[in-house]
Structure 1
Amino acid sequence: MAHALIIGGTRFIGRHTVAEFLDHGYAVTVFNRGNHENPFADDDRVSHIQGDRTDRERLEAAAAAVDPDVVVDCVAYHPRDVRVACEVFADVGAYVYISSGAAYGAERIPKREGETPLHDCTPEQATSDDWESYGPRKAEGDRAVFAAAERGVTAMAVRPPVVYGPHDYTERLDYWIDRVLAHDRVVVPGDGTNLRHLVYVEDVASALRIVAEEGEAGEAYNISDGHAPVLAEWVSLLADAADTEVETVFAGPRELAAGDIELTDFPLYREYPHVLETAKIRELGWEATPHAESLPPTVEDHRASDRTGRENGPDREAEERVLSILETL
């Protein structure tokens, strides 16, 4: 039986990745700090090793104890993390690094692997923890994977955009689910045609496994939903998944000013479209889940949780002022 070591593995992407490998006959070990509840604590198929992935000695000890066939790195947030992991796991059958669509440093539609330029990364950015350095750090992690592959390491990268689905602690889509469930009228910034590609978390998990099994060393693979809805369409799709109806109200900068709101205050709003080409991973047999299948469990998980996502966007009181202004126009 093949053995997968998941670095991370208990919160969101890692949690679904563990389930994906289990469903495909792997033995699984989770390596993390143990700071969050382990959903697999009572599952005899999943072993757990506690340790900080930034501690090289603990990572080496985990490698020796598990002797994994596959390593999936869910929590490599700095280039050094990737470089060290590529050294520690140089002899495994596959090391798969979760990068990001944010690694792309040029605005193109769509963004393609090996064609669209990546962000540069300064030494200061490489060790930073701020959001502005996230894309450059992920890009530098990709370059660490490419360099390792040149040394003979079977290292690969997977680049998702914003990820949604059950157990999403980032709550970016939860904001919109909450609005759809709680209100009859939903304020959408601009004309509703803002475009940002997303990807379902279970599709991320399946991509990680497929790349581990079928991917080519030194390659990066974009993953994203098969269809990229504009923001207004997301609201409609979520309403359908929740079996409810809402009125979508569009508000431009002038109308939003009544609530002291900016277009960019809304989660998932992006001034320039962000679309990822996925032909490369589809050639490996990967397929995206249709929204009719991905959104109902996402909405149900939201309902069962205490997440609202409200802190990610404008206050409803501010939106009500905008709605009042629009009623007078």
Structure 2
Amino acid sequence: MTDTALVIGGTRFIGRHTVAELLANGYQVAMLNRGTRENPFADEPRVTHVEGDRTNRTDLRTAALSTDPDVVIDCVAYRPVDVETATDVFADVDAYVYVSSGSAYAAEEIPKREDDTPLRPCTPEQAESDADSTYGNRKAGGDRAVFAAAEAGVNAMAVRPTIVYGPNDYTERLDYWIDRVISHDRVIVPGDGDSIWQLAYVEDVASALRIVAERGEPGAAYNVGDRRALTLAETVSEIAAAADTECEVVPASADALAAGDLTPDEFVLYREYPHLLETCSLAALGWESTPVAEAMARSVADHRDSNRDGSKWDPGRAREERVLGVKDTL
């Protein structure tokens, strides 16, 4: 008998790739969302759509009764109460997997480990907030809700991706760098270029969610990120290779950037302290990471086929040109 997976979300980015991953591995799939976005699986007979608001308990209950899922993958739980409600409604499923985040970690450690690195606190006020500044706190609160549900006998688990990239990435964080590489032969990277903010290829996140649902331990959390973590300068070089173009990486210190009234933090994917997640627990379940060159090639190809340019992250090319001019005189 074919298993049924309910994906809460399912049309935009991580959820979309998760549906594709489940289909590729023989599942019947149902999606619960509000139906406000185009459904990429509208013509797929193995995918059904349940319209509803994931923050509404009645809508969750309707989805549970109408789809009778074996597995639930929750891509859009942004408050601890969302997880608490879902683990109650879906208490009897074979696996409930919550998409958490590497930003749930409180301590700056290299690497961040699931059982050792402390999580952020989540106050009642933070738990109800929609502010970007409380995102990690709310994700950590969701993790604790998973742990509590597992203690009560629910087969609940969490997956913590770091920054996710790949086809259909609406955040456009990597698109900024792809656009820079394709459009210019010299690209500024802040600092010495050795900033590390580990990325996670979206198809690998999707496979991690399926594998954890099938083989994970209730009450456990699993980090997911590229097994080969790149520096920012290496990321630019990998993009250039994938785009089959030449691009000079130009490191610029904070003092050099000041010539263009720029600061390192204005460059997306820059991080002063490395963010690196250990992924051994996930690998022990049989998960593998896509080679970076392959993941980057797919990301660049998708970028070229899209209308995304990452311009919302653009610190200003004119200001960068001033920095390049100053560096050329040194």
Band the TM-score falls in, shorter-chain normalisation: over 0.9
3-state SS of the aligned residue for 1:72? strand
TM-score, normalised relative to structure 1: 0.99
Hey, what does 2:247 align to over in structure 1?
Answer: 246
Distance 1:266 1:102 in 2: 19
In the alignment, does 2:137 pair up with 1:163? Answer: no
Hey, what does 2:153 align to over in structure 1?
Answer: 152
Distance 1:35 1:76 in 2: 17
In the alignment, does 2:215 pair up with 1:214? Answer: yes
What CA deviation, in whole Å up to 9, does each residue of 1:231-288 have, x standing for no partner? 0000000000000010111111111112211101101001110000011111100000
Measured after TM superposition, the shift of residue 322 of structure 1 is: 1.1
Please tell me the residue identity of whatever aligns with 1:96: V
Hey, what does 2:60 align to over in structure 1?
Answer: 59
Distance 2:179 2:194 in 1: 20
Please tell me the residue identity of whatever aligns with 2:241: D
State the superposition RMSD in angstroms.
0.7
In the alignment, does 2:112 pair up with 1:111? Answer: yes
Distance 2:62 2:36 in 1: 19
What CA deviation, in whole Å up to 9, does each residue of 1:162-188 have, x standing for no partner? 000000000010110000000000010
Q: How does 1:17-36 map to 2 (within 5 A)?
A: 17-36=18-37
Q: How does 1:147-296 map to 2 (within 5 A)?
A: 147-296=148-297
Distance 2:307 2:317 in 1: 18
Please tell me the residue identity of whatever aligns with 1:36: R
Distance 1:272 1:54 in 2: 35
Q: What fraction of aligned residue pairs are identical, expressed as a percent?
A: 64
Distance 1:280 1:207 in 2: 11
Distance 1:327 1:311 in 2: 28
Distance 2:244 2:227 in 1: 23
Distance 1:322 1:311 in 2: 20
Q: How does 1:43-58 map to 2 (within 5 A)?
A: 43-58=44-59
Runs of 4+ in 1 over 4 A off after TM superposition: none
Please tell me the residue identity of whatever aligns with 1:261: L
Distance 2:60 2:219 in 1: 22
Distance 1:297 1:252 in 2: 31
Distance 2:37 2:125 in 1: 29
Hey, what does 2:121 align to over in structure 1?
Answer: 120
Hey, what does 2:100 align to over in structure 1?
Answer: 99
Hey, what does 1:298 align to over in structure 2?
Answer: 299
**Structure 2 residue runs without a partner (length 5+):** none
TM-score, normalised relative to structure 2: 0.99
Distance 1:33 1:316 in 2: 39
Distance 1:35 1:327 in 2: 50
Please tell me the residue identity of whatever aligns with 1:105: A
3-state SS of the aligned residue for 2:63? helix
**Structure 1 residue runs without a partner (length 5+):** none
Measured after TM superposition, the shift of residue 313 of structure 1 is: 3.2
Number of equivalences = 329
Distance 2:163 2:79 in 1: 18
Distance 1:40 1:258 in 2: 49
3-state SS of the aligned residue for 1:156? strand
Distance 2:44 2:14 in 1: 18
Distance 1:304 1:321 in 2: 31
Distance 2:81 2:146 in 1: 11
3-state SS of the aligned residue for 2:109? coil
Hey, what does 1:136 align to over in structure 2?
Answer: 137
